[in-house]
Amino acid sequence: MDVLRNCKNFIVEWIGAVSLAAGAAAVGYLAYKTLLSKDKSCKAMVNLHIQKDNPKVVHAFDMEDLGDKAVYCRCWRSKKFPLCDGAHTKHNEETGDNVGPLIIKRKEA
């Protein structure tokens, strides 16, 4: 009878230990996926719709062509990208973000 009881206690303890180890492994895996994983599919994209068929969106301008002032979009929501059209205001209101344009202007002499 004692042998049977000891065997039963061993099985219950073993199941408890395995459950604890599995729970710890699950928590560790979730922490890894959340904090350390380099999986890019879980990260948000900045560029949602501009030239998505290109591997990299690049614009270049000659300084002489900028005029007295140029305002460039940094939120990637402008319909006139790479120029700012004010879409950053709506983006900031909807997301709590704080992005704004890059303004390049000629120094007043």
Residues 6 or more apart whose Cβ sits within 8 Å of residue 80:
73
**Minimum distance from CB of 72 to ligand FES (Å)?**
7
Beta carbon nearer to ligand FES, 56 or 97: 97
Beta carbon nearer to ligand FES, 27 or 103: 103
- Count Cα neighbours of 60 within 13 Å in the Cβ-side half-sphere: 2
What is the C-alpha to C-alpha distance for residues 46 and 55, in angstroms, rounded to an integer? 14
Q: Could you confirm whether 90 is annotated as catalytic?
A: no
Binding site for ligand FES (CB under 6 A): 73-75, 77-78, 84-88, 99-101
Nearest-CA neighbor of 47 among 9, 12, 88, 77? 77
Beta carbon nearer to ligand FES, 41 or 81: 81
Active site residues: 56
